[in-house]
Amino acid sequence: MKQGVVTSGKLAMMLAAELAVLGGCAQGLGITTPYPVFQVTVLQQLPISSPAFESHAVFDEAGKAVYFVRSSPAFQGWRLQVSECGDGGWTEPRSPSFAAEGLEADPFLSDGGTSIYFISNRTHAGKAGADLDIYVAKRENADARWGPPERLPKPVNSAGAEWFPRPAPDGWLYFGSDRPGGFGGTDIYRAREQDGVWKVENLGSAVNSAGDEFEAEISPDGSRMVMMADGDIFVLSRAVSGWSGRIKLGQEVNTPALEVGPTFSPSGRAILFARDFGAADLPIGGSGEFVLATTDKVEAWPPACP
């Protein structure tokens, strides 16, 4: 989304604040000092922003489209939306062509924009979905129409709920699941297909705990992970022996409000997520709005439109 001030009703105000991290470390963002300064920017732009709760945004590589989740102000009734970048700015959000009934959320574009992963409890094989499963839709190129989504097989999908599917540079598909046998309520897993057979692994105690870990994404260079755990955003670094201990980001990122859906920028040096602003006096709407957390390295992301 383009960052700027209100102009002719198309753009809404960008709110920015710089706050010092009061605890923890941000090595997961490429920062080596223990107390860096982050810029935290609230992004609002019509028609993406609304009185509803917007979250879980993902942009195609060319910056031509953004897929995101829109739900009620109470963060219920999740539905996928897509907006394209046109001459006049972002178009009015609509349901993507592969949308179905029920809950649908957590989109992620992969393979140069020719694959999109998401979760859904849509009817499958004539049966109404009782829980959320991982689906993937494909298309021939970034401008083509999406084909029918396919539900990933067992053991990727389980009798429980799956969350936040994220393909990673290491060839694994990372996701959350509350299936039996984990460390807590919801754990982070990874899956890989080889010769038509899927293998699933729990990421272990360095990542998972007795609580809930449910949204994890690997940085574009594969060296870092950002994830949600018990309502807060954490980062981890990949070591020779596996993932390092979790580092909770500071209070400019983690607040008493709800934060969800952290995703890396293409460089891996910024994180976009959504925060519940409730009834706060914002230029547009309120409720769930996108927040960009950046370090001292500025990049032109999210993409501007037009």
pLDDT over 80 (residue 259): yes
Q: From the CB of residue 298, how many other CB atoms can be counted at a distance below 10 Å?
A: 10
Backbone dihedral angles phi then psi of residue 284, each to the nearest 5 degrees: -130, 130
177 vs 98: CA distance, rounded Å: 23
120 vs 131: CA distance, rounded Å: 8
What string of H, E and C letters represents the secondary structure of the chain? Answer: CCCCCCECCCECCCEEEEEECCCCCCHHHCCCCCCCEEEEEEECECCCCCCCEEEEEEECCCCCEEEEEEECCCCCCCEEEEEEEECCEECCCECCCCCCCCCEEEEEEEHHHCEEEEEECCCECCECCCCCEEEEEECCCCCCCCCCCEECCCCCCCCCCEEEEEECCCCCEEEEECCCCCCCCEEEEEEEEECCEEEEEECCCCCCCCCEEEEEEECCCCCEEEEEECCEEEEEEEECCEECCCEECCCCCCCCCCEEEEEECCCCCEEEEEEECCCCCCCCCCCEEEEEEECCCCCCCCCCCC
Region 8-32: mean pLDDT is 33
The tokens for 242 are 């596996």
Mean pLDDT of the chain: 86
Q: For 145-173, what is each residue's pLDDT tens digit? A: 999 999 999 999 999 999 999 999 999 99
Q: Which residues pair with 39 in a beta bridge?
A: 18, 294
pTM > 0.85: yes
Cis? peptide before 262, omega within 30° of 0: no
Where residue 21 falls among pLDDT bands split at 50, 70, 90? very low
Q: What is the pLDDT of residue 77?
A: 96
The tokens for 30 are 């490429």
249 vs 148: CA distance, rounded Å: 39
Q: What is the pLDDT of residue 300?
A: 87
Percent of the chain with pLDDT strictly greater than 90: 72
pLDDT over 90 (residue 62): no
4 vs 46: CA distance, rounded Å: 12
pLDDT over 50 (residue 72): yes
